[in-house]
Amino acid sequence: MDERQALVAFGALSQETRLRLLRSLVVAGPDGIAAGSLAEQVGVSPSNVSFHLKELERAGLVTARRDARSIVYSAEYDALSGLIRFLMEDCCSGRPEICAPALATPCCQPGEGRRQ
Amino acid sequence: MDERQALVAFGALSQETRLRLLRSLVVAGPDGIAAGSLAEQVGVSPSNVSFHLKELERAGLVTARRDARSIVYSAEYDALSGLIRFLMEDCCSGRPEICAPALATPCCQPGEGRRQ
DNA sequence: TCAATATTTCAAGGATTATTGAAACGTGGA
DNA sequence: TCCACGTTTCAATAATCCTTGAAATATTGA
């Protein structure tokens, strides 16, 4: 993940609808969700959801595949972990004390989910 | 770090000048850097650097204090680690396998700096 | 107090991004 | 083949963001 990719990725995550879309896709797992279902879940119009999905795709955070009439999107886990890594490396450059609290996050121990 | 804060923070990081500013401030450490020096370092006009620093401040990623004629900015380490944490919790909700590769990042082991 | 320094604020302009609805496209079933 | 479905594309508009330079503010030292 180079700086340019990170910039685009941050831009993609800075919009409410897109953040919700990505969250749904992460929770859905590798099987993904069809564009239409996503539109219902986040409550926006089909053309608007298409616009934002394209933006997430441009950022490399999701991928699309056709399944019959539907187009199924799924989260790109590698890109997400790459972005976390970019942020950690940027922040920690010379300052490991920044990452330490984040690394204490319990979400990634096996069996743990999102904090309430 | 709630969703609204995260959205603003991602927006702040999605701009090249601001990302450079933040990087300089992180490397500089808690002592911070004066606005004018930052303007020189990143190569933008004083008024433009002021605009972007205000944006970073609005996002909670930096703080400002006056020191004589200068205004000295410094990175808000807590906000940065909070953002990393938000990303990890969001990504890992139900999917710890996303974070695992990011957590293998060597940057945060004591004594390590940014990866080359 | 005056001038110089460091920075911010403001207004104007241009550039990018978001939303909307209509039209177009590809797919599968009758 | 034809129609319905799911989705994308397009054009137009609205909204937001970025840049620029000039003027304003606060501070320091002569």
Q: Which two tokens stand for residue B67?
A: 């020191």
Question: With 80 as the cut, is the pLDDT of residue B55 above it?
Answer: yes
Q: Which two tokens stand for residue B46?
A: 């004083």
Q: How far is the CA of B9 from the C1' of C22 (A)?
A: 36
Q: What is the percentage of chain B residues whose pLDDT exceeds 70? A: 89
- Domain of A111, CATH number, reads 1.10.10.10
User: What single-letter DSSP state applies at residue B32?
Assistant: -
User: Looking at residue A98, what is its pLDDT?
Assistant: 82
Angle at A33 between CA A112 and CA A22, to 5 degrees: 55
Q: CA-CA distances (angstroms) from residue A89 to A72, B18, B63?
A: 33, 17, 21
User: Looking at residue B92, what is its pLDDT?
Assistant: 79
Question: With 50 as the cut, is the pLDDT of residue B116 above it?
Answer: no
User: Looking at residue B114, what is its pLDDT?
Assistant: 46
CA gap A37, B25 in Å, rounded: 43
Comparing A31 with A108, the larger pLDDT belongs to: A31
| Number of structural domains in chain B | 1
Positions in chain D where some atom is under 7 Å from a protein CB: 5-10, 17-23, 26-28
* Per-residue model confidence as pLDDT tens digits over B2-21: 999 999 999 999 999 999 99
Domain range for residue B20? 1-116
* Per-residue model confidence as pLDDT tens digits over A55-98: 999 999 999 999 999 999 999 999 999 999 999 988 777 677 88
User: B35 beta carbon < 7 A from strand C?
Assistant: yes
Q: For B33-86, give the DSSP string.
A: EEHHHHHHHHT--HHHHHHHHHHHHHTTSEEEEEETTEEEEEE-HHHHHHHHHH
Q: Which two tokens stand for residue A19?
A: 């953040």
Residues in a beta bridge with B65:
B72
Instruction: Identify whether the C-beta of residue A102 lies closer than 8 Å to the C-beta of residue B88.
Output: yes
Q: Which two tokens stand for residue B92?
A: 């890992």
B112 Cβ under 8 Å from any chain A Cβ: yes
* Per-residue model confidence as pLDDT tens digits over A38-58: 999 999 999 999 999 999 999
